[in-house]
Structure 1
Amino acid sequence: MHGIQLVALCGLLSTALGSAEVSLPGSKAYTAPAGFPTSAFASYHLSPAKPTAEPQPALYDAVLNITYPTNLTNPHTIPDNDEDPVFFPPALANLSETQTQVLLKGLVAQVSEIIEGNNINGNCSKCIAILNIAQPAAVLVPEALPEVMVTLCKKYRFHNNKTCEEDFETSTFGSVWVQVLRYADIGGWDGRQICNSLSSSFCPRPYTLPTNITGLFPGPKPCNATAPKASGKRVKVLHMSDFHLDPRFAVGSEANCTSGLCCRANNDNTALPVGQILSPATPYGNYKCDSPYDLGLAALQAVGPLTGTSKSNPLGWTVYTGDLVSHDSQNELSRLYVEYAEDSVYGMFKTYITGPIFTALGNHDTNPEAIDSPHKLPGPLGQQQSWNYDHVAGLWQNNGWVSEAQSEEARLHYGGYSIKNTYGLRVITFNTDFWYRSNFLTFINTTQPDNSGIFSWMIDELQAAEDAGERVWIVGHVLSGWDGSNPLPNPTDLFYQIIDRYSPHVVANVFFGHTHEDQVMIYYANNGTNQSAGSALNTGWIGPSVTPLTNLNSGFRLYEVDTGDFNIYEAWTFTSPVDSYANLTSTGPTYSLEYSTRDTYGPAASWPIDSPLNATFWHRVTEAMEKNRTLVSLFNTYQGKSSVQSPTCTSDACAAAKICYMRSGSVALGQSCPQGFGSVQSMFTGKNF
């Protein structure tokens, strides 16, 4: 960030805060002690006393009744082939090997003719024609199809050879794509979504089909639908997200690798001679790396002092908005590796975070990555990820965060559950992979926005909460809107209708993660057609990540919540500067207060000191941003958790885009915004006015 811009931002912050000190929930800063906290785990494969290597805990998993093997996470023995079971649709014919080869040879010839010929005009038409040709093979010889996909991918240089294998081999995503080909409506909306997913140059991204709400809800919204009154009693609630533990982190390896996940012994900077390191990975992490144990535990050790909580004065509760597992390429992942991360991170949470933790699964918390199958797929295909739901449900129950009944509910609802906590708030967590664009199984029946049944269950829970006079928080992972780049359009439109129907009297707040950035979205009445302070209904809080990936600082957030209306009255965000880690010798990382939401934005929004930080507040903030571009720049700085790597947002185009994203709680709204300014993890690509 340039010096003049930094001075301007500091001046704005000083004006917002005035001469008064920011009210703090605990200490203003916490510095982790040097050295690894050995009490974090009962035993180790590799002692943490060695400063040049990441410790390797010997984890015992009480749900699986196993101790994880050391070669699973050894940074020098990273596997390159996933041997987990794969699932194919049943073959509807028993072809001989000769017949199979004839069929596949004809398929390759037809695909080549379409790609190389001129009989079909336009990439979109060609792509759909190829899918139509491939679908019979998915019906007749499903297990033989991934090899053909890899061959064609390499032949036409759709990707480089390595990526073709990672994307389409049987052991990675090949069997998943075969399921999609078998059951998708290739000639309809599904085919266009598939082709757009493969490349935006093939088919344009499908637009949102308006949700038919006739008969969707058990009853109409009450005429007197207003939020309950505050009680005046406050409780502290932690929001943590995207831990992304990397137990394969290699201290001293290349932190500025050419591609993929850095700080790995098997990932170099190809511009350098073999064996030469440009930027050595520090024990606490780097900007292009996921969280080593030392960083994750430093963050967890900071929670108590910074939030002013302890075992004798615990947090009310915590929401964790998903993603525990590191960003490995698919061939390096496995069920066992996912289960290891789940057991390890939840175990650390249990040790360092007081109070119950209500968690949603992230797209990285499964294998293959982001893949979750709707139960309505036939036979075992509808239960492909039941191993994972069984595992996390067992861990949550063992940690005392859910009951046996809620554990069973999570097994049934893809890891989602509904629970009423001791303060009387109902928390509903749900699996957002069913609207995530990288869950390829969502390309089956895309015109049905609730193919998994998850929203039907959510409506039932919200209706029961309305009937009982309960307040609800909804917790997911992949955000529903912002710039519209992450989810599918139709499910997020349905979700928007659900939020509209049950806000503001039932749903108090919505929480997501996924982007690793500090963001917020506003949900309005009438599908966001009239965006005003009066029509603002609810807020989607996107939590900052613990992982620095990519080019971000590490952080987490604390809310002050009223136990009567369960609105948020203050939000403090704490961060740690990753660029300082290379110089740490006598201490660990420092986490400190980055900003208070009320003190930073409240004065600009002319917001009363006793009013909640609700959707109306955030809309007023966006109105203030329209008049004061420097306020947008400040929001942009905080979006990256004050990372020195973040691009600045000083143009009118960037400011307009950020305001538009904040007002967009669905894909339909987000896609209507100017694109190219959504993330601060790299330079903006949007066009300036």
Structure 2
Amino acid sequence: MLSIVAASAAAFSVPGFAEPVAVSALGPSVFTAPGAFPTSVYKHYYNSPTATSAQPQPVISDPVSHRIYPFELTNPATLPKNNTHDPHILPPKASSGVLLESAFAQVLSIASNPTFGDNNCARCQAALQVGKFLALAAPEEGPAFAVRVCEHFNFNKDCATQFGIFQLGSVVTQVIANADVGGLDGQMICSHFLSGLCPAPTATPLNLTNWFAKPKPNPLPAAKKPSGKRMKVLHLSDMHIDPRYANGAEANCTSGLCCRENNFNTQSPQKIMFPAPRFGSYLCDSPVSLIVSALESIPVLAGTERTGFDFTLYTGDLVSHDSENQLSRDYILYTETIMYDLLRRSLGSGPVYAALGNHDSYNQAQDAPHALNGQLADQFSWNYDHVAALWELEGWLPHSAVETARAHYAAYMVRRQDGLRVITLNTDLWYSANFFNYINMTNPDVSGMLRFLTDELQAAEDAGDAVWILGHVLSGWDGTNPLQNPTNLFYQIVDRFSPHVIKAIFFGHTHEDQVMIYYANNATAISAQTAGAVGWIGPSVTPLTNLNSGFRVYEVDSGTFEIVDAHTWKSDVNAFPQLDSQLAHGPTFEYEYSTRDAYGANIPGWGPNDPLNATWWHLVTEAMEADPSLVTKCTFVDRGFPPLQKFNTFQGKGSVRSPPCTGDCVAAKICYIRSGSVPIAKQNCQTGFGSVQ
């Protein structure tokens, strides 16, 4: 082979190239290295290079840096745990604006990623994870992110005025930062707020093992005997005073709150189609004139001009239905101040027991649980402190109840001298529009509100006292307003303490005249024997939307604190335009109906002094079932009409705009009356017939 290489090279040799040299023969096939390390390899050592107990550690000098590397660098006895000396290069920190752009781009990528297939729920929750990162890393960009996502996917018709930094953007950012967006919280957010991208989860099973301090007494304590003396209790709700109401503005606007200077009808933007009457209209909140007229009428109609009411219930919503960008803390505080002052000066010396409504807060419908950390836990204390102080100044609450209200979301318990305990709740804490309720949704009582209620009911049971419960957002009916898990727990609490402790429950919110029945054992058997408590939903003073204005007075036995009759008055809003341009007459409030008289003829064997309790109301629903073919809207109500026909008309306070209830509406409405929680309504009832608006 070597000869071929040499010959080939010779054949192609050219000047300047040397002749190849023949390779010499190889050395020996075996060599044994010396046992001693050759110390001459390096000049200096950290240890003895001839020792056999350790490897030689030469001293190495770097000819470039002129550094001598220390023994610690290679010492086998001192291996490093972390390299804390050298730089560990990370990408440069992105500005918050870059993070916003990146997050938005990732959401668009997720939305178009075919990996998710038809699983829009997983796609939505993945996008929420991106939003959560942004909310934690650059919270100041959260509102802008919410607006951009909302606008891109058309989640809302006016994203900027709903989710900007001056509206709900900061709230949404807080919630996304704290929610378990990969779990139930995220599923519910996607279901409720993001176009139903996730199916609505079912209620989480309750574990009541340690919830109640004591089991329900068996047998129940003997019922107290009626005194035969009756108290008069006023129930007002949803007055929604509008101090920005503009007489003559468009009352038939096509968006927002009508009777405002800035809202118009898109079919006639330059010319007002229906000027706002001085006393109100169907698409508007209550002008000051309507509020004052109602308060002037109430004592006269109820016969309390000299005596006053024993007490008044106010089931929330003082503030008008402004859009988020028009609201402020001062607007809320102003409304609370003017309204509670008007109530005190109009209704006599009897106390007013009030609950906050979803509009009685800023941002509207938002109340944060104390379980949030730091200043986030107390971000609504300004409102609780204010209303509690007003209630004390008006002389309605003792100082102990005021302090409770400050600490418990403006909720409190007051024990009256007659022995009745009134417990109020801030039902924003189960309202589906409160974003803060979407944090830790597997816990049905994150706020501790229902723990507070349970403890107060236990104390009342131990003392043998009766209780009325007062809130704003109803716990059931058609199930469209509150959340499942907390109302499920509330229902079990009501069952535990009914009928011997809880004598009545009161709500507002829908603006309509409605009622709910709570049954034993989660309504697994619905009958007169299992009916335990009644929830009365009071009619609103505001006409919004398409309703007449109304209020109610209860006759209550002073010994049992059970309701013996309920009287409701209304004012025909359709007649209000005729009152303009004159000062002789204001609105007329007329007697609408007695609950006992309207339905009592259908309940045989019920005496004139027997209470309108849960058993009675269940028998009313049976009477409604007996004649479903006659259920239509009527323009005049008397004893000749079937019960549900009356119920549907009363629901809208006799408004000419209320639709009739026929066909499937009949069974649905009976089902709503029998549904005191969201899970029961969703399980049992057909949807779509809950409102007459």
TM-score normalized with structure 2 length: 0.83
Match of 1:271 in 2: 267
Conservation of the 8 A alpha-carbon contact between 1:471 and 1:508: yes
Structure 1 contact 228–505 (Cα < 8 Å) conserved: no
Q: Quick one: which amino acid aligns to residue 272 of structure 1?
A: S
1:100–1:273 CA distance, 2 compared to 1 (3 A):
closer
- Matched letter for residue 317 of structure 2: D
Structure 1 position 510 matched with structure 2 position 502: no
Q: Pick the aligned partner of 2:666 from 655, 659, 683.
A: 655
Q: Which residue of 2 aligns with 1:641?
A: 653
Q: Any conservation in 2 of the 1:225–1:503 contact (CA below 8 Å)?
A: no
> Which of the numbers 203, 226, 231 marks the counterpart of 1:230?
226
What is the CA–CA distance in structure 2 between the aligned matches of 1:671 and 1:366, rounded to whole Å? 29
Check conservation: 2:316, 2:360, Cα contact below 8 A. yes
Worse-superposed segment, 280-289 or 125-134: 125-134
Q: How does 1:572-651 map to 2 (within 5 A)?
A: 572-584=567-579, 585=582, 586-606=584-604, 607-629=606-628, 630=631, 631-651=643-663
Q: CA RMSD in A?
A: 1.4
Matched residue type, 2:335? A
**Aligned partners of 2:592, 2:93: CA distance in 1, in Å?**
64
Q: Distance in 2 between matches of 1:261 and 1:502?
A: 41
Deviation at 1:271, TM superposition (A): 1.1
Aligned counterpart for 1:671 among listed residues 677, 682, 686: 682
* Shift in alpha-carbon separation, 1:647–1:96, aligned structure 2, 3 A: farther
Residue range with higher mean Cα deviation, 624-633 or 478-487: 624-633
Kept in 1, the 8 Å contact 2:295–2:343? The answer is yes
Out of 111, 117, 136, the position equivalent to 2:113 is 117
Displacement of 1:115 in angstroms is 1.6
SS for the counterpart of 2:267 is: coil
Look up the SS of the partner of 1:504 in the other structure: coil
Contact kept, 8 Å, 2:318 with 2:339, in 1: the verdict is yes
Matches of 2:275 and 2:96, distance apart in 1: 51
1:257-308: per-residue Cα shift (whole Å, max 9, x none)? 011100000111111142x011100110000000001101111111111110
SS for the counterpart of 1:186 is coil
With 223-232 and 144-153 compared, the bigger mean Cα shift is at: 223-232
Q: Work out whether 1:152 is the aligned partner of 2:146.
A: no
CA offset digits 1:607-647 (Å, max 9, x no partner): 33221000000000000000123321210110000000000
1:167, distance to aligned residue in structure 2 (A): 2.2
Q: Would you say the 8 A contact 2:240–2:542 is kept in 1?
A: yes
Determine the C-alpha separation between the residues in 2 that align with 1:436 and 1:136.
Answer: 27
User: Structure 2: which amino acid aligns with 1:428?
Assistant: I
User: Which structure 2 residues correspond to residues 157-172 of structure 1 after superposition, within 5 A?
Assistant: 157-160=154-157, 163-172=158-167
Q: Deviations over 1:406-463 (max 9, x none)?
A: 1111000000010012322100001000100010000001110110011111111111
What code does the residue aligned with 1:135 have? K
Amino acid corresponding to residue 648 of structure 1 in structure 2: P
Q: Which runs of 4+ in 1 moved over 3 A?
A: 95-99
Between the aligned partners of 2:167 and 2:269, the Cα distance in structure 1 is 31
SS of the counterpart of 1:508? strand
Q: Is the 8 A contact 2:155 2:195 kept in 1?
A: no
How many Å separate the matches in 2 of 1:344 and 1:297?
11
Conserved? CA contact 2:155–2:194, under 8 Å? no
Which digits, 9 at most, give the CA deviation of each residue in 1:504-547, with x for residues without a partner? 11110000000000000000000111110000000000000000
Deviation readout 1:340-399 (Å, 9 max, x if unpaired): 110011010001112110000000000000000001101010001000000000100000
| Structure 1: distance between partners of 2:657 and 2:590 | 19
Shift, 1:96, TM fit: 8.5
- Is 1:260 the counterpart of 2:256? The answer is yes
Q: Is the 8 A contact 1:210 1:493 kept in 2?
A: no
Distance 1:201 1:156 in 2: 13
Q: Deviations over 1:197-225 (max 9, x none)?
A: 21343112221112211110110111122
Amino acid in structure 2 at the alignment position of 1:447: T
Q: 2:214 aligns to what? A: 219
Which whole-Å deviations, capped at 9, do the CAs of 1:560-615 have from their partners, x for residues lacking one? Answer: 00111100000000000000001113300000110000000011122332210000
Q: Please say if 1:178 is aligned against 2:178.
A: no
Structure 2 CA distance, aligned partners of 1:531 and 1:357?
35
Which residue is equivalent to 1:88?
Answer: none
CA contact (8 A) 2:97 2:141 kept: no
The letter of the residue matching 1:649 is C
Distance in 1 between the 2:507 and 2:519 partners? 18
1:332 corresponds, among 326, 335, 341, to 326
Q: Assess if the C-alpha contact under 8 Å between 2:162 and 2:325 holds in 1.
A: no
Q: Which residue of 1 aligns with 2:692?
A: 680
Map of 1:378 onto structure 2 = 373
Q: In structure 2, what is the Cα distance between the partners aligned to 1:210 and 1:524? A: 18
Counterpart pick for 2:129 among 129, 132, 143? 132
RCO higher in 1 or 2 (8 Å CA, sep ≥ 6)? 1
Residue 548 of structure 1 contacts residue 554 of structure 1 at CA under 8 Å; is this kept in 2?
yes
String of CA shifts for 1:641-664, please: whole Å, max 9, x gaps. Answer: 00000000022x100000000000
Q: 1:300 aligns with which of 295, 300, 303?
A: 295
- 1:634 is aligned with what amino acid? K
Is 2:355 the partner of 1:360?
A: yes
Q: Which secondary structure does the structure 2 equivalent of 1:373 belong to?
A: coil
Residues 153-174 of structure 1 deviation map (CA, whole Å, 9 limit, x = unaligned): 22333333xx111222111111
Q: CA offsets, 1:231-271, max 9 Å, x none? A: 11111000000010000000000000011100000111111
Taking structure 1 as reference, are residues 390 and 142 closer, same or farther at Cα in structure 2, changes over 3 Å only? same
CA contact (8 A) 2:412 2:424 kept: yes
Residue type of the alignment partner of 2:142: L
Q: For the pair shown, which has the larger CA radius of gyration, 1 or 2? A: 2
Q: What are the residue-to-residue correspondences of 1:314-463 with 2, within 5 Å?
A: 314-354=308-348, 355-463=350-458
Q: Secondary structure at the match of 2:657?
A: coil
Alignment check: 8 A CA contact 1:553 1:643 kept: yes
Tell me the distance in 2 between the aligned counterparts of 1:476 and 1:157.
34
Seen in structure 2, the aligned counterparts of structure 1 residues 488 and 273 have a Cα distance that, compared at 3 Å, is closer
CA deviation map 1:646-684 (0-9, x unaligned): 000022x10000000000000001112100000000xxx
**Structure 2: stretches of 5+ with no match in the other structure:** 1-90, 632-642
TM, length-normalised to structure 1:
0.83
**CA 1:200–1:525: 2 relative to 1, 3 Å:** farther
Aligned in 2, Cα 1:96/1:340: closer, same or farther, shift over 3 Å?
Answer: farther
CA distance in 1, matches of 2:107, 2:669: 42
Q: Secondary structure at the match of 2:167?
A: helix
